[in-house]
Amino acid sequence: MRKMTKMTAFLMSCLLIIVMAGCGGNSNEGRSGSGTGTRGLQGTPTDAPAGSEQSTIMPAPDPNKQSTVVFTMFKNDAYIQDAKKAYEKQHPNITIDLKYMIQDGRDDISGVKLEKFRSTMIADFLNGKGPDMIVMDSLPASKYIGKGLLADVSRMMSGDPAFQEEQYFQNILDNLKDGKGGLYTVPLSFSLSVLMGDQETLERSGVKFDDKTWTWNQFNDTGKELSKLDGDRYALVAGDPRYLLSDMIRANYSLLVNPVNREAYFDSEFFIHMLEQIKTMEAEKVVSFSVEKDKADSVAYFTERELHTPYQYFAYIANMKENGANTPKFYEKPKAEGREPGGYFSTYTNISINAKSSVQPEAWDFLKFLMSGEASAASSWGPDDLTYAGQGYNGTFPISKAVYEAKTEKLLQAGEVSTFTDSGTTRVTEEDVRQLESILLQANHPIADIDIGVVELFNESSAFFSGQKSAEAVAKIIQNKATTYLNE
């Protein structure tokens, strides 16, 4: 049925996810919960603020009332289309009116339609004419939240006795809440951002480190010790200082931007230290910005990986073994000083409910249906395909534990999966699945999908990395521009 190789399909899927990750994902952190799924997945405590929550008693939709829920997204989504049909079949009195601007990314290469979508949506919301539900992945969610345009879904969750939070990856949902416990966008799926290295090589080096707790300063110290053993190898390879800066900002966005109060803190010591830290790591040959990314595996002790699916977890291990690694292992990425232990995650298909919607009970009920994955069997991705495209609603880990566990069960039944290049296979064991589940449940640091207006400000950092301006001068420029943007 496929005309592409798995590697081609994988790369295209990754590109699609990166393009559609866009701006406006959640950047605030909350408190982690715990729960059990069909295999007893257990969550762990995290560092999110405690915030008080108030329940909003959410009545079930009236079966005798004809209702229409307007659902808007920039790009068409096969899973949501299938979910609409399945939901309407179960609820004949409710119509889900799906609206979208483009069929796929090829319909807007120039970005003109996206810009129109953004300007139209914010205007409609401000005028009280916005849709009842909306996918926020292509929109600056922080602006909508700051203007009070989105409903607090956490109140709906706590006020709905039919909602069973233990059926979902609550560590993901809880750590998207703001300081007061508010949850304004709900993802249907997520991915993990990790490091990968050869455990045997690292242990044989004699250099000690604890990836569960290490900071960037400790990572730098570890990298210096490793580079002494082999002057031709780095701890990490990154394409450009700005890319690493962007990565570090996205991982600490809640410490640099308060979207509700529309305040930025780029002139803080925290951000200035971040700039200087990157330059120091390059000077001490801990990080290289000159080595090509495709050669990173051969010259770096650690490589960055985005884990999107259970299949990908096993395929990465198999591919690393093919490249000479003895015992591939996933490690947590370093954190800023003062951050609690835990892994990083990104979210996808982030859905919000209009704070002024007149059909909030129906909107919440449809959102629950989307989260449950009930329609995934009919989705074009397919639940039984073991390869990349078959995992998650849009090729990422589903927020539903039941859907995730059904997919890993398929992998266990298969016993092995092919590598990206079909050049070999790797075994799938219960122990492997437990290791993956542990990584999933430790994820508690959201990586923000930063508003495009803020992202563009990072180009100012080139003046510092090239030696033209001081870190303080660049930080002041970024602070002034960020403040202006946030208050537009």
CATH number for the domain harbouring residue 108: 3.40.190.10
C-alpha distance from residue 262 to each of 147, 432, 437 (Å): 10, 44, 37
Helix (H) or strand (E) segment spanning residue 109: none
Task: Indicate whether 222 belongs to any domain.
Answer: yes
Contact 75, 138 (CB under 8 A): yes
Are 179 and 256 in a shared domain? no
Task: Indicate whether 280 belongs to any domain.
Answer: yes
Q: What angle do CA 454, 31, 244 make, to 5 degrees?
A: 35
Task: Indicate whether 64 belongs to any domain.
Answer: yes
Are 236 and 330 in a shared domain? yes
Are 169 and 217 in a shared domain? no
Are 210 and 107 in a shared domain? no
pTM: 0.83
Task: Indicate whether 365 belongs to any domain.
Answer: yes
Task: Indicate whether 121 belongs to any domain.
Answer: yes
Are 111 and 255 in a shared domain? no
Task: Indicate whether 119 belongs to any domain.
Answer: yes
Task: Indicate whether 434 belongs to any domain.
Answer: no
For 247, phi then psi, to 5°, come to: -60, -45
Tally the domains of the chain: 2
Are 218 and 327 in a shared domain? yes
List the chain pLDDT tens, one digit each, 488 residues.
433 444 444 444 443 444 334 433 443 333 333 333 334 444 433 333 333 445 668 888 999 999 999 999 999 998 899 899 999 999 999 999 999 999 988 888 888 999 999 999 999 999 999 999 999 998 988 889 889 999 999 999 999 999 999 999 999 999 999 878 999 999 999 999 999 999 999 999 999 999 999 999 999 999 999 988 988 899 998 888 998 998 899 889 888 988 778 889 999 999 999 999 999 999 999 999 987 766 777 789 999 999 998 888 988 888 888 777 889 999 999 998 888 899 999 999 999 999 999 999 999 999 999 999 887 654 444 444 555 444 456 578 999 998 888 888 888 888 887 777 667 778 889 999 999 999 999 999 999 877 766 777 888 999 999 999 999 999 999 999 989 888 87
Task: Indicate whether 8 belongs to any domain.
Answer: no
**Tokens describing residue 97:** 């009116």
| Residue 80, domain extent | 60-191+348-378
Q: Where are the alpha helices (DSSP H) in 374-470?
A: 401-414, 430-442, 452-455, 462-465
Are 73 and 183 in a shared domain? yes
How many CB atoms are located within 10 Å of the residue 176 CB?
Answer: 26
User: Burial of 265 by CB count in 10 Å (0-12 exposed, 13-18 middle, 19+ buried)?
Assistant: middle
Tell me which of 378, 400, 428 is where a domain ends.
Answer: 378
Question: How far apart are the C-alpha atoms of 240 and 242, rounded to whole Å?
Answer: 5
Are 183 and 203 in a shared domain? no
Strand-strand pairing, 133-135 and 343-353: antiparallel
